[in-house]
């Protein structure tokens, strides 16, 4: 269970272990915790997935509804992404308006989905300037044991990859059809623990971390988004090494997202 204040001797122990290339749960610096995916977890959504990375759990739901395009982009559909860090999931979350942490998760996941052109927004348009599909990507955190970004992103992308456009229900078309997903971005988060950079941090590793870097890559091997967080620094060489690791992990996780349950 997460404490409000982490004891410094635990943080020191995590850093001591990292110096030996070891981690509290026995993983190596480049090991993810077990990942499992359950697409279609929520039938009221047009696409959904429950994602677990270790004990961290996030449900993502896609809702597609007709709406108006933005006035300055009449030929583009609308994509909106939101992460709810609900108090159910952690003693460190309070009820109320979104805190900076929630907003960051929302925007980081949004950035990867958008930059990778996961869905072609022009194809969401029904009548230019008048009618378009609005694609809502809502992520709901259930259990926060560290690394919300990767878990939320994986849930979101899996949900998109299994989504159906409800054309019939909204009388926009004759029949429903699968949402066309062109690219599949995967986010991989790393933290610095002393001189060692580890992937997929747990809650306590995040507390001990001296910097965090998230890299999103797609199936074409492109880097599509990056976000540095927490307090600490990475050298350009660090970043290059992290990108290579993210590409490898991305490929593996992408296969899960497309294929279904691990």
Q: Which residues bind other proteins (CB under 8 A)?
A: 1-13, 16-17, 20, 22, 24, 41-45, 48, 52, 55, 57, 59, 61-63, 65, 82, 84, 86-91, 94-95, 97, 136, 138, 140, 142-145
C-beta separation of 188 from 154 below 8 A: no
34 or 128: CB nearest other proteins:
34
86 or 239: CB nearest other proteins:
86
Least distance between other proteins and beta carbon 46 (Å): 8
Three-state DSSP at 58 gives strand
C-beta separation of 85 from 101 below 8 A: yes
C-beta separation of 70 from 131 below 8 A: no
Tell me phi and psi for residue 242, to 5 degrees. -65, -40
Least distance between other proteins and beta carbon 158 (Å): 14
- 196-199 vs 186-193, strand pairing mode: antiparallel
37 or 225: CB nearest other proteins:
37
C-beta separation of 118 from 60 below 8 A: no
Least distance between other proteins and beta carbon 126 (Å): 18
Backbone dihedral region for residue 187 (phi beyond 0: left; psi -120 to 50: alpha; all else: beta): beta
Give the Cα separation of 202 and 189 in Å (integer). Answer: 11
15 or 115: CB nearest other proteins:
15
C-beta separation of 54 from 200 below 8 A: yes
45 or 124: CB nearest other proteins:
45
C-beta separation of 158 from 60 below 8 A: yes
C-alpha distances (whole Å) from 213 to each of 53, 88, 138 are 18, 26, 23
Question: CA torsion angle for 153, 55, 15, 217 (degrees, to 10)?
Answer: -20
Least distance between other proteins and beta carbon 21 (Å): 12
Least distance between other proteins and beta carbon 1 (Å): 6
80 or 244: CB nearest other proteins:
80
87 or 129: CB nearest other proteins:
87
Give the Cα separation of 2 and 121 in Å (integer). Answer: 40
Least distance between other proteins and beta carbon 45 (Å): 4
Least distance between other proteins and beta carbon 50 (Å): 8
């Amino acid at each position: 269970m997460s404490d409000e204040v982490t004891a410094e001797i635990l943080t020191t122990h995590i850093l001591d272990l990292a110096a030996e290339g070891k981690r509290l749960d026995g993983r190596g610096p480049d090991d993810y915790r077990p990942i499992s995916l359950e697409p279609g977890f929520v039938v009221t959504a047009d696409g959904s997935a429950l994602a677990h990375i270790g004990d961290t759990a996030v449900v993502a739901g896609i809702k597609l509804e007709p709406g108006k395009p933005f006035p300055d982009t009449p030929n583009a559909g609308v994509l909106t992404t939101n992460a709810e860090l609900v108090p159910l999931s952690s003693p460190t979350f309070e009820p109320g308006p979104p805190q900076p942490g929630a907003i960051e998760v929302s925007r980081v996941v949004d950035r990867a989905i958008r930059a990778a052109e996961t869905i072609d927004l022009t194809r969401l348009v029904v009548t230019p300037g008048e009618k378009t599909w609005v694609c809502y990507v809502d992520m709901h955190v259930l259990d926060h044991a560290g690394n919300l970004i990767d878990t939320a992103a994986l849930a979101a992308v899996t949900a998109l990859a299994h989504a159906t456009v409800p054309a019939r229900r909204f009388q926009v078309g004759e029949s429903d059809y699968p949402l066309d997903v062109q690219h599949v971005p995967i986010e991989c988060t790393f933290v610095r623990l002393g001189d060692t950079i580890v992937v997929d941090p747990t809650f306590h590793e995040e507390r001990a971390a001296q910097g965090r870097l998230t890299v999103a890559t797609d199936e074409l091997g492109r880097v599509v988004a990056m976000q540095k967080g927490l307090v600490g620094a990475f050298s350009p060489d660090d970043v290059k090494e992290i990108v290579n690791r993210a590409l490898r992990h991305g490929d593996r996780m992408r296969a899960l997202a497309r294929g279904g349950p691990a």
